[in-house]
Amino acid sequence: MRSPRAILFDLDDTILSFGGRELLLAEVAERFASALSPKQPNEVAAAIEAAFLDFWSVPGRYSDWRNRVLEARTIIIERLFESWSIQAPGATPEIARQFARQFHELRESGEGRLFPGAVATIQALREQGIRLALVTNGHADSQREKVERFRLAPLFDHVQIEGEVGFGKPDDRAYRHAMAALGVEPKETWMVGDHLEWEVAAPQRLGIFAVWHDHEGRGLPVGATVVPDLTVRAVRDLLGIVNSLR
């Protein structure tokens, strides 16, 4: 492990916390508790989260669906609810569509908070001369609104939003474009984020050092074939690690 000359940071669930996707699913499941009975909200949330992970883990699928995320989420939930037709008769296609839309609106609302210590850590890394880029997927308007609301742009040498540049992770262009903007090579670069494909596997294929942000402390999923170069529970843990390498 070598000290980075540049670090690429993910935004959602890395710098900004939304409480975790499964927690949001559980919140929506509470609203539909009577319709989905006898399935319990936490059970519903865990099942949908597993279905999401399974769906998005297929290589190339994100590039096919990136502009139809609500449609993808609706299909996933409809299929799952259909499999429950005997145990939970109330899990109808209409309930699935309502559930998907409410979750989508909650997830994409932009509401969130900064992870403790994240901004201070990024500021300290910048003061040490490390080149920094924010590389986030998502629509231009919603992601730019988050960047502006939390005043993140001044912290970075380069801000890259999928909806603005026309490509996003795990497309190789997303990482190469950011590195070119910073004037660095893969061997000099770290990528930090919570998504095992977008922020670990894809960057590693380019020779980037991949840091997985396991903010929920769950560890790698059973059977995971992706192995991060480094795992941290919080962005603020990075500063001590980087300093120890200097």
- Over residues 170-226, the pLDDT tens digits come to 999 999 999 999 999 999 999 999 999 999 999 999 999 999 999 888 899 888 889
Q: What is the pLDDT of residue 58?
A: 83
Q: Which of 107, 133, 168 is the last residue in one of the domains?
A: 107
Q: Do 122 and 225 lie in a common domain?
A: yes
Q: Which of 44, 77, 107 is the last residue in one of the domains?
A: 107
Q: Count of domains in the chain?
A: 2
Q: Do 117 and 220 lie in a common domain?
A: yes
Query: How many CA atoms lie within 13 Å of 38's alpha carbon, on the beta-carbon side?
Result: 2
131-135 mean pLDDT: 98
DSSP letter at 198 equals I
Torsion of CA 85, 89, 95, 99, to 10 degrees: -70
Contacts of residue 171, defined as CB under 8 A and 6 or more positions apart, other chains included, come to 63
The tens digit of pLDDT for each residue in 101-130 reads: 999 988 877 667 899 999 999 999 999 999
In a domain, 75, yes or no: yes
Which domain range does residue 60 map to?
21-107
Q: Do 164 and 80 lie in a common domain?
A: no
Pairing verdict, β 209-213 and 230-232: parallel
Q: Do 43 and 99 lie in a common domain?
A: yes
Q: Work out the burial of residue 167: count CB atoms within 10 Å of its CB; fewer than 13 is exposed, 13-18 middle, 19 or more buried.
A: middle
Indicate if the pLDDT at residue 22 is higher than 70. Answer: yes
123-148 mean pLDDT: 94
The tens digit of pLDDT for each residue in 67-79 reads: 888 999 999 999 9
Rounded CA-CA distance 177/106 in Å is 31
Indicate if the pLDDT at residue 41 is higher than 90. Answer: yes
DSSP letter at 115 equals P
Q: What is the pLDDT of residue 51?
A: 96
Q: Do 147 and 227 lie in a common domain?
A: yes
Cα 79 to Cα 25, 94, 244, distances in angstroms: 16, 12, 49
Q: What is the pLDDT of residue 110?
A: 60
Q: Do 94 and 161 lie in a common domain?
A: no
Q: What is the 3-state secondary structure (H, E, C) of 61-72?
A: HHHHHCCCHHHH
Q: Do 76 and 180 lie in a common domain?
A: no
Q: What is the pLDDT of residue 240?
A: 94
Q: What is the pLDDT of residue 245?
A: 92
In a domain, 162, yes or no: yes
DSSP letter at 38 equals T
Respond yes or no on whether the N-terminal peptide bond of residue 221 is cis (omega within 30° of 0).
no
Q: What is the pLDDT of residue 214?
A: 94
Indicate if the pLDDT at residue 227 is higher than 70. Answer: yes
137-151 mean pLDDT: 91
| Cross-strand partners of 133 | 8, 158
In a domain, 1, yes or no: no
pTM of the model: 0.79
Q: Do 199 and 187 lie in a common domain?
A: yes
Residue with tokens 């980087």: 242
What's the chain's average pLDDT? 93
Q: Which of 82, 107, 132 is the last residue in one of the domains?
A: 107
Q: Do 228 and 196 lie in a common domain?
A: yes
Q: What is the pLDDT of residue 44?
A: 96
